[in-house]
Chain A
């Protein structure tokens, strides 16, 4: 972990170009990522001004699917640093031994070092309001009840964006934290982003 942080710090020393952390006014950015266990896609569009609308679809081994829509805003705090805040709403559907479903709200705080390559660090908090029906089979018949519970998915990512052309960027990240209030194994993501011309 320390060596990766050092690598990111060294990489960030290169002088900067346009940040990939967000979309410029009128610009669309589309991204795909794959890894273990998460795969996903996202789209970002900034109609005008710094605020952009976002859409995300992610799946963990096609057992858990998360769909999110949100708004994001970059805050350039210095020529070298940018902060991005994101707020999302969406839903979760998970099948298997542990099933989950319900609406989810989330927030992301991301710090990016601007440059020819862009190391970044982010923290996220997603709150799932799970709704589950429980059917009890008794001697006298069936009884169905709904149960509600809140689960928190909190964690962080450490990664790097490497632009390979004006419109294409390679992304790599590791992510760790919890999913639904339980420890989750760290995940590794590799992705590619495309953005329209400004």
Chain B
């Protein structure tokens, strides 16, 4: 397959692109919360894109946990314009799969910057202690 693809690519008059590069990271840790309920984790680039496309906190992957507990996830992190890594979590206290929908009780959230990234194995602790905030507000 690789040879066929490479030959087909080389056969084109305008050459081949550089490969898409993925950086594999095994990220594990513990989520702590004073509340109960499922937790959703967002694995994020701190910054992504150039010029007018530049944005904060671009999602790389997500993970649902049954409760605030330990976790382990292998990420394939696209390399390119993305820099840094953070993990955001929020707790779905009322299990409606919405974070702080109007008229419902506050739900906790938290954000941690993965300072050891880039590394293939990192460990973090995420504390959910701020009600109703997105990554930008934390």
Contacts and interface: CB of A to CB of B under 8 A. Distances in A.
B22 interface: yes
B5 A137 contact: no
Given A101-B9, A103-B8, A146-B5, A93 B22 contact: no
B76 interface: yes
A67 B14 contact: yes
Contacts of B16: 101, 133
B24 A138 contact: yes
A86 to B, nearest CB: 20
A3 interface: no
A139 B121 contact: yes
User: Chain A: interface secondary structure?
Assistant: strand
Nearest to A104: B12
Contact of B21 (A65, A91, A137, A146): A137
Given A97-B80, A97-B81, A136 B22 contact: yes
Nearest to A144: B19
B29 interface: no
A139 B12 contact: no
Contact of B13 (A91, A95, A145): A91
A102 interface: yes
A148 interface: yes
A164 B1 CA distance: 53
B137 interface: no
B24 A97 contact: no
A131 B18 CA distance: 11
The bracket for how many chain A residues form the interface is 20 to 34
Contacts, number: 71
A135 B21 CA distance: 5
Interface string A126-165: 0000011111111100001110100000000000000000
Nearest to B15: A93
B20 A134 contact: yes
B17 interface: yes
A191 B25 CA distance: 50
Interface in A72-124: 91, 93, 95, 97, 99-103
Contacts of A67: 13-14
Nearest to A133: B19
Given A101-B14, A133-B20, A137-B79, 12 more contacts: A67-B13, A67-B14, A91-B13, A99-B18, A101-B9, A102-B8, A134-B19, A134-B20, A135-B22, A136-B22, A137-B22, A144-B2
Interface of A: 65, 67, 91, 93, 95, 97, 99-103, 131-139, 144-146, 148
24 contacts: A65-B14, A91-B13, A91-B14, A93-B17, A99-B18, A101-B12, A102-B8, A102-B9, A103-B8, A131-B5, A132-B17, A132-B19, A132-B20, A133-B16, A135-B19, A135-B22, A137-B23, A139-B120, A139-B121, A144-B2, A145-B2, A146-B2, A146-B6, A148-B5
